[in-house]
Amino acid sequence: MLFLTLKAVVSGALIAVASTLAKRQPGFGALIASLPLVSVLGMIWLWNDKPDADTMAAHASATFWYVIPSLPMFLLIAPLLRHGFGFWSALGAGCALTILLYAALTWFGPRFGLPL
């Protein structure tokens, strides 16, 4: 239970740092948020729980493929906000797009041999 609490505190602290930095310097906050810190921490936590190279390799490979459909969300949110959409509407549209792209990847990926 102590390790679970440590994982939550460290992971939450990184999000808090990124959002605090973004208030003063949006670009720098975005840089911190865009770093694969969650993925790296996830791999560290996974390795600690199950130190198996095959499991880690499968996780890293699947993470790569799942990052790709999440990227268009950011390309959609920015213009929606600039064209007067509210934050929550733009975020919802971006999340909906990501969900659709994840579903497409999950359906098409294995048919093309992607290790998900």
- 7-41 tens-digit pLDDT: 788 878 888 888 888 888 988 888 777 778 778 88
Look at residue 19 in the predicted model and tell me its pLDDT: 85
Look at residue 35 in the predicted model and tell me its pLDDT: 77
Q: Could you give the angle at which helices 87-108 and 71-82 cross, rounded to 10 degrees?
A: 150
Look at residue 97 in the predicted model and tell me its pLDDT: 98
Helix (H) or strand (E) holding 19: helix 2-24
Look at residue 103 in the predicted model and tell me its pLDDT: 96
The torsion angle over the Cα atoms of residues 88, 83, 66 and 38, rounded to 10 degrees, is -60
Look at residue 96 in the predicted model and tell me its pLDDT: 98
Q: Could you give the angle at which helices 37-49 and 2-24 cross, rounded to 10 degrees?
A: 170
Task: Give pLDDT tens digits for 49-105.
Answer: 999 999 999 999 999 999 999 999 999 999 999 999 999 999 999 999 999 999 999
In the structure, what pLDDT confidence band is assigned to residue 114 with cuts at 50, 70 and 90?
A: confident
